[in-house]
Amino acid sequence: MRKTKEEYIADARRHIENARDILKEKGKKEDGFYTDAKYVAMAGHTAYRGVLIALDELMKQYGIKKRTRKHLDDYRDFIAKLDRKVLNYFNVVYEQLHLVMGYDGIGEYKFVQMGLEYAEKIIDWVEKKLK
């Protein structure tokens, strides 16, 4: 059974909350940094995946066929056509959550919070577009 638009948005938000929980419970915050690289990476990947879930649903609504795996430029091109400000948010989310946290395991508190905030803004934007 196919999920509804609302269920996709709820799933995307759940990913962001799960990322926050991972950081809170296991990130080991010390001197303004999360110090456990394993859990920083896990949180980064989880939050970024939440953004992609929301964007994938919006792309479906706009008739963009799903390939096996979308490329970063597919998301950037799609967002750029709709809202340049959201594209800026997406670029920060990609860089901070996916690359810096997800691959490097680095989590400076202020940047992590900014990345998560921008992820939520993208999901809010997608939710408005889906209505």
Q: Could you tell me the CATH number of the domain that includes residue 36?
A: 1.20.120.330
Range of the domain at 96: 5-130
Residues 129, 131: Cα–Cα separation, whole Å: 6
Residues 78, 74: Cα–Cα separation, whole Å: 6
What H or E segment, with its residue span, contains residue 33? Answer: strand 33-34
pLDDT by 10s per residue, the chain, length 131: 789 999 999 999 999 999 999 999 999 999 999 999 999 999 999 999 999 999 999 999 999 976 677 899 999 999 999 999 999 999 999 999 999 999 999 999 999 999 999 999 999 999 999 99
Q: 104 φ, ψ to 5°?
A: -85, -20
**Whole-number CA gyration radius for the chain:** 15
Predicted structure pTM score: 0.95
Say how many domains are in the chain. Answer: 1
Given a contact cutoff of 8 angstroms between Cβ atoms, the answer to whether 119 and 98 are in contact is: no
